[in-house]
Amino acid sequence: MGIVQRQSLRNTVISYIGLAIGFVNTTLVLPRLLAPAQIGLTTTLMGLATLGAQFAAFGFASTALRYFPYFRNPARGHSGFLALLLGLPLLGFGGVAGAMWAGKTAILAHYPTDHALLGPNYPVAIGLMLCVLFISLQDAYLKAQFHSAFSSFVQEIGVRVLVLGAAAAYAAGWLTFNGFVLAYLGAYALATLSLTAYLAAIGELRLRPSRAVLRVRPLRELLAYGGFALLSNISGTLLLTIDALMVGAKLNLAAAGIYAIAFNISTALALPFRALYKTAYPLIAEYWKEGAFDKMADFYRRSTRINTLVGCYLALGIALNLDFIYGLIQRPAYAVGTSAVLLLLLGRLADGITGVNGIIVITSPRYRFDLIFNLGLTASIVVLNALLIPRLGLAGAALSNAIALAGLNLLRTWFVWRAYGLQPFDGRIGRIGAVAAAAGAAVWALPALPNLWANLLLRGGLLTGLYAGGLLLTRAAPEAASAWSWLRRRLGR
């Protein structure tokens, strides 16, 4: 097995373990240990840090992945590429950090009710920004070197375990809350140093600058590509951070904490979609290379049907058992986010059902249109949040997110159909939706049992039976029939 295969296998295992730890950590454990305002503070600090790091890096993480093969030459220290990769974003960090510090009063003015909590911890956002910046750059450099497994472990598992340990220490009274915030920063600082030590251990910490780096590829070309990558990636960052930041600014940090937990609960729906997209990206790129439009059209339809099949089931499973999920948290204040979870689930379901349209666009000859779609998503999220959060509160932020995601995917789906004649829908999608609606309505009509676990088993079991039975009777999904046949054979043995 080659290094790429080994790293891919390790990354897959680490990613799934990390996703499981992350979901349990941020959805069930941390909310039991921290109050909503405290969750809101860490969410706001990380949101500011992530946005700042994105601008400071100026797309250089993507630049490393795109251009490092031109610089690869271990005998010559890769022509000083690592020094350039870290040096220019470090200058960017200085500018962004200076702007954040100079604008501290203006930023804190947006959080008048939480000034006493956010103000003393504001410098932590700058420290986190430096850590996030260096983690992303070192991670990209390691990926370019085909050494990504350790970086995945540090980010997906290591940081989450350290943050959980710090929260447990605070809950046990071993740390003050200020001590927890510093430990939170320390977890990311330790991750940064761990990646640096790993680079040194594999002999790739080549920090000596060299003028030769400017002769391999023109600096103007690297900066131009970095700028394009920044604009392309900023929508993804905003999608993860801007809602909580604007909820905290327009409401308060406690509301931001409640919204962050609602957002984390809804991410469970996106996990199977992400798993599919990891396979879809190289596969669709290969279809473009071969000009295999028939194969691409078939994959587009099948992936959309599978996402609809799985997505409707998971969305109903989460929505119908929110009492159970919030009951595990054992802090009634967080249950205010129930309506936000439902709206976020609608947005994520729309994003999944439309299939792999975004991957088709970004791998196509017209990939630059993806930048237009991403900038449109960014603008729509900000504008809709500004309009809806003051009127609807947490539900307004979730509705903004759902409208923006649904609108973006509607436009992208139309673009793929208009430009390439590909569209993923057929009558089976409607039948799956009808079966899901009928099964969900039947389960929703059940009276709630007093015991949370009994309620979960009853609702989950009935939903599974009705949904699976409906799919088999209507023949809406060949995949469901195949799974049933396989199960019958296994049981027969």
Query: Identity (one letter) of the amino acid at 399?
Result: L
Query: What's the predicted TM-score (pTM) here?
Result: 0.87
Residues 215 and 257 placed together within one structural domain of the fold:
no
| Residue 231 maps to a domain | no
pLDDT at residue 17 in the model: 75
pLDDT at residue 155 in the model: 84
Residues 266 and 403 placed together within one structural domain of the fold:
yes
Q: Which of 170-179, 216-225, 236-245, 481-490 has the lowest mean pLDDT?
A: 481-490
Residues 369 and 416 placed together within one structural domain of the fold:
yes
Residues 11 and 81 placed together within one structural domain of the fold:
yes
User: How would you label 438-461 residue by residue, b for 16+ Cβ within 10 Å and e otherwise?
Assistant: ebbeebeeeeeeeebeebbebbbe
Tokens of 370: 């993806």
Residues 285 and 403 placed together within one structural domain of the fold:
yes
Give the CA angle between residues 12, 18, 24 to the nearest 5°: 140
Helices (H) and strands (E) in the chain, counts: 23, 0
pLDDT at residue 493 in the model: 61
Whether residue 118 contacts residue 111, with contact meaning beta carbons closer than 8 Å, is answered with yes
Residues 201 and 280 placed together within one structural domain of the fold:
no
Residues 10 and 116 placed together within one structural domain of the fold:
yes
| Residue 211 maps to a domain | yes
Identify the helix (H) or strand (E) that includes residue 244: helix 219-250
Quick one: which of 38, 35, 55 has its CA closest to 117?
38
| Residue 493 maps to a domain | no
| Residue 334 maps to a domain | yes
pLDDT at residue 4 in the model: 45
Cα separation, 209 vs 87, in Å, equals: 9
pLDDT at 5 over 60: no
Residues 45 and 191 placed together within one structural domain of the fold:
yes
Alpha-carbon 144 to chain mean position: 22
Residues 142 and 202 placed together within one structural domain of the fold:
yes
Of 132 and 76, the one with more pLDDT: 132
Chosen domain end from 219, 243, 264: 219
- At 279-335, the pLDDT tens digits run 777 778 788 878 888 888 888 988 888 889 889 999 999 999 999 888 888 888 999
Instruction: Kindly calculate the radius of gyration of the chain based on its CA atoms and give it in whole angstroms.
Output: 24
Cα separation, 346 vs 92, in Å, equals: 38
pLDDT at residue 302 in the model: 87
Q: What is the overall mean pLDDT for the chain?
A: 85
Residues 359 and 316 placed together within one structural domain of the fold:
yes
| Residue 321 maps to a domain | yes
Of 385 and 80, the one with more pLDDT: 385
| Residue 484 maps to a domain | no
The alpha-helical segments, DSSP class H, found in 330-450 are: 338-353, 357-362, 369-392, 394-420, 427-444
Cα separation, 314 vs 63, in Å, equals: 37
| Residue 229 maps to a domain | no
Does residue 356 sit in helix, strand or coil?
coil
Residues 184 and 312 placed together within one structural domain of the fold:
no
Q: Which of 38-42, 91-95, 153-157 has the lowest mean pLDDT?
A: 153-157
What is the extent of the structural domain holding 125? Answer: 1-219
Instruction: Domain count for the chain, please give it.
Output: 2
DSSP class of residue 211 equals T
pLDDT at 2 over 50: no
Q: How many CB atoms lie within 10 A of CB 475?
A: 11
- At 100-147, the pLDDT tens digits run 999 999 999 988 889 888 999 999 999 999 999 999 988 888 877 777
Does residue 426 sit in helix, strand or coil?
coil
- At 6-65, the pLDDT tens digits run 555 565 666 667 667 777 777 778 888 889 999 999 999 999 999 999 999 888 887 877
Give the CA angle between residues 66, 274, 143 to the nearest 5°: 30
Alpha-carbon 482 to chain mean position: 31
- At 356-396, the pLDDT tens digits run 888 888 878 887 888 888 888 888 989 999 999 999 999 99
Residues 409 and 458 placed together within one structural domain of the fold:
yes
Which residues 6+ apart lie within 8 Å of 427 measured at CB?
none
Residue 86: pLDDT band (50, 70, 90) is confident
| Residue 227 maps to a domain | no
- At 456-476, the pLDDT tens digits run 899 999 998 999 888 888 887
Q: Which of 201-215, 281-295, 400-414 has the lowest mean pLDDT?
A: 201-215
